[in-house]
Chain A
C-alpha cells in the first residue's frame, strides 16, 4: 500500500516538496492513510491544542473544542459552530469601485463594479485572507461547505466521532 511519512506530507502541504517527487505522488496510487497523517501535520502547525477534525481551507480547520465543534483559524481565532457559515463571523473588505479593484489588478482591464464586486473574508485577529468571493452586488454570501462530519468519520474512516 502506498504510504508517505509525515515529513513528506508536511513538505507537500507547504509546497516545499521537489517537483519530481510531487509529480510521483500525483501519479501514484493514493495513500489510504493520508487523512489522519495530514491532520497530524496540521496539528503540529497550529499553536492550539483542540484536536483538528477536518481541514476546510488553507488556514481554517474544524476542531473539537470542549463539547463544541468549531471552525478555527490557524491563529486560534474561533469562527463559531462549524455548521454555521464561518464567513458571517469574519471581517470583510469589499472592492466595489474601480479604484479598489485597481489595487489588485494594476495592469489589466477591470470588470464593471456595478456588475461585480470582490469580497475579501479576513480573520479579524490575524488578518489572514481566508476566502475571496467575486459576486454581483446584493448576492448572498455563500456558505461554501457543510461537511457531513459524522457520516465521514463513521462510514468512510470507520472511526465514529464521540457524541457531543
Chain B
C-alpha cells in the first residue's frame, strides 16, 4: 500500500509547506487560531490527556519486555506520538531528550525521499541511532512506525531506548575510546528494519553478530516496536471515534498550543534580558592505552552560554566562543543539542499543560558551525556527547534559575544538573560468557541545590527526570562484580546556604571472571564542571578512581578482619589502602587500563551538584543532621560552613548556636581581610594575561576560541585591555 496522506500533497511537500507556514505566520503550521480548543476546551484537553496516557501506558508495557536493566530498572526509555510531518504531539515520561531528536529522524527520512525508496507503508518499522540524522549518541536507538488510517498516513509512533552495549571499540554504550565515528559501534542509519509489524531476521542477525550483549539491544527493539504498535492502535481507535478531519486538525493545534504555552510560561516566570554563564570541561588521556594521537591528548574546553529572553517570551541560547570539535567521543550534533534543550524545558517550564514539540518551537539555539555543538565534519564521534551536554545545560538551568529568582519564583530556582562519570565494562561474565554493559546506576547523582532547600541526594540526573539508580541485586545479575559498598559521598554537594545534593560511591569486588575490562567515561579531575549559584560553591571535581589489584580481601574475610566499603574521607590515603592489602591504584579519569580479574576491587564515585547562597548562612541544626547522617564531614561543617558542633550525651553532633554565630562573625572579617578590590585583581592579573602565563591547555583553549569567535576575541580583549589575538595566536592572519 502506498502512502496516501490526508492532504493531496505528498509528505515532503507537506513538511516544507508546514515549515513555510511557520515562517510566514510565526505559528505552527500556520495555525493562528486555536479553533478546536475554543470550540470545546474540555474535549480538547481530554483528548491530549488520552494521548499522553497512551504514551505512558505503552512505555510501561514495553519496559517489561526489555531485558536491559537500563530500561527495566532505570527507565531509560521514552515514547511519543507525532504528526505525519514528524512533530511531537504527546510524549511519555522517561528520557524526554529524545522526543525532538526522533522528530528530526522522521523529518530526515521525509526530506530524503523515503516515500519513494524505501517507501513508507503500513506495518513498516524504521530505526536510527545516527546522531547526524537525529539522536544524541550511538546507544540511543530509536524506532518509529507510521500510523495509517484507512490508507492515509496520519502520524507516527516512536520509541527510544538507551542501549547498554553498542558494539564499539570499548564495551558499553558510551564508547569512551571512540575518536571517530568508525569506532563508535553498530550504526543504524534511518533504516527500514521491519515490515508488517515484524523486525527483519537479517537485521537481528546483524545485531547479534556485532554487539557484545545483543540480548539487550534486540529485546529493546521488540519492546520499542511493541510500544509503537500499542500507541498506533490506540490512535487508530481514537480516530475512529473522533473522525480523521478532527484528528488532523487537533493534533496540530496541540502543538501550536504547546508553543504558545511555552511563550506564556516564559513571560510568567522569567524576566527579559541577557543572561550569561559558563562551564569548563577537561580531558586527560596522555599516556593512556588505546588513545590514538589524532589531536591533543589533554585539553580544556570552555562552554560560554549567552541566553536572551525577549519580551515576546522567546528564549535563545547562543554558544558562541566555545571550542572546536575534536577527535574524541564528546562531540554533539544539533539534534543532541536540541535534545538537551527540550528535556531541560520540560522539567523547568512545562510542568503543567501541554508538553510537546511546541515548547521547542518557542526557543532557538545558536550553535556555531565547526564547534563541538555543531561539527562541520560528520565523521566525528558523538558517543559520549553527554559529557559536554550535561555541563552546558547545567549552565542553562542556572541562567533560567536566575530569571526565576528575579521574578520572585524562588521555589523554581535550581542550580542544575550534574555532570557525572559512568562506568562501562565487558569481557568474560560471571557465567563464563562474553558480555558488555554500561552500568547505569549513574542515573541518580546528586542535584544542584534549590534557592530554598538543599539539592536532591542520589536522586537526579538531567537527562531523565525519573531518576533511579536501580537495585544492587539486579546489577549483580548482569556483571561479574558484587557490591561490597554503596554509600553517600560526604561533602559531594557544593557548599552553600543550601548545599548541592550528595552523590554516592560504589565499591565492587570483581568476582568469577578472569577478564573484566572496566572503563569510565571521559571525566578528568582537572576542573569544576558543576557550578554553584548566588554565592554557592561548585560541587567537588570528579573523584579519582581507586582500585586494588590482587587484593587479600578473601583472606581478610576468612579471618573476620575489617574490610573497606568506601574510600573514606582522607583524600590522601583511602580506607582501601588502610585496610586492604594488594596493589593499590589511584587513577584520574578516564579509567582505561588492563583487564581486572577475580579478587580485584574497584570503586567509582559519582558527582554531586552545586550549592546555592552564602555558606555562612547555612542552618547549623540542619548541618548537625548532615554530619550525623554522613552528608557532610565535621571538618567541612567547621572550616567551610563555620558551624561549631558539639556532642550530645549519646555522642551525636549538635550545633552550638552561640559559638557558631561568634565563629561566623570572625570568618566574615577574615574573608574581608583576605579579599582585594576586583579592580586591583584585574590590574595584577592583566600582566599574567599579557604574558599568556598559563598552562598549555589553557593557552590552547584561548587560541581556539579566538580563532573561532570574533565576539569572544573582542570581549576578552576589552575585558583585559589587551590584544587577545596577538597574545594567543601570534602570526595568525586576522
Contacts and interface: CB of A to CB of B under 8 A. Distances in A.
Interface string B688-727: 1100101101100110000000000001100110000000
Given A35-B407, A109-B540, A129-B535, A115 B695 contact: yes
Contacts of A114: 694-695, 698
A48 interface: no
A92 interface: yes
A129 B275 contact: no
A13 B412 CA distance: 11
A124 B273 contact: no
Interface string B447-490: 00001110000000000000000000000000000000000001
Residue with the highest number of chain B CB atoms closer than 10 Å, among A22, A90, A145, A146:
A145
B205 interface: no
B676 A105 contact: no
Contacts of B679: 88
Main secondary structure of the interface of A (DSSP, over half): mixed
A160 interface: no
B277 interface: yes
Given A37-B408, A143-B276, A152-B272, A109 B541 contact: yes
A137 B540 CA distance: 18
Contacts of B275: 144-146
Contacts of B698: 114-115, 136-138
B640 interface: yes
A151 B410 contact: no
A138 B277 contact: no
A107 B672 contact: no
Given A92-B676, A106-B636, A138-B688, A58 B527 contact: no
Interface stretch (B195-203, B249-257, B611-619, B644-652): B611-619
A107 B527 contact: no
B13 interface: no
Contacts of B544: 109
B525 interface: yes
B119 interface: no
A54 B632 CA distance: 34
Given A92-B676, A107-B491, A115-B698, A132 B640 contact: no
A75 B309 CA distance: 30
Given A111-B528, A127-B669, A147-B272, A92 B453 contact: no
Interface residues of B, number: 93
B639 interface: yes
A1 interface: no
A140 B304 CA distance: 11
Interface string B510-547: 00000000000000011110011011111011111000
A141 B30 CA distance: 44
A107 B635 contact: yes
B273 A55 contact: no
B271 interface: yes
Interface in B157-205: none
A55 B406 contact: yes
A12 B669 CA distance: 29
Contacts of A124: 672, 675, 677
B659 interface: no
A145 B526 contact: no
A129 B536 CA distance: 8
B678 A90 contact: yes
Interface in A45-93: 54-59, 87-93
B311 interface: yes
Nearest to A61: B406
Given A104-B537, A127-B671, A156 B300 contact: no
Interface size of A as a range: 35 or more
B534 A151 contact: no
Given A26-B411, A105-B540, A140-B716, A120 B526 contact: no
Interface string A148-159: 110110011000
B711 to A, nearest CB: 12
Contact of A55 (B408, B542, B614, B697): B408
Contacts, number: 254
Contacts of B271: 54, 147-148, 152, 156
B272 A116 contact: no
B492 A34 contact: no
B402 A145 contact: yes
Interface string A17-60: 10100100111011010110111000000000000001111110
Interface string A110-129: 11101110101110101111
B527 A131 contact: no
B408 A39 contact: yes
B268 interface: yes
A94 interface: yes
Contacts of B716: 140
A37 B410 CA distance: 13
A17 B89 CA distance: 37
A88 B280 CA distance: 22
A33 to B, nearest CB: 10
Nearest to B451: A58
Contacts of B682: 88, 141
Contacts of A115: 280, 282, 300, 526-527, 695, 697-698
A44 B498 CA distance: 23
A161 interface: no
A103 interface: yes
A118 B525 contact: no
B169 to A, nearest CB: 27
Given A127-B668, A138-B720, 8 more contacts: A15-B452, A38-B408, A57-B534, A58-B451, A58-B497, A109-B525, A144-B275, A145-B273
14 contacts: A22-B453, A30-B269, A91-B672, A93-B675, A104-B495, A106-B640, A109-B541, A111-B541, A116-B280, A116-B527, A121-B678, A130-B614, A136-B302, A141-B678
The 9 A-B pairs with the shortest beta carbon distances in the complex, nearest first, are A38-B408, A140-B719, A91-B675, A108-B540, A147-B273, A127-B668, A134-B528, A114-B695, A148-B272
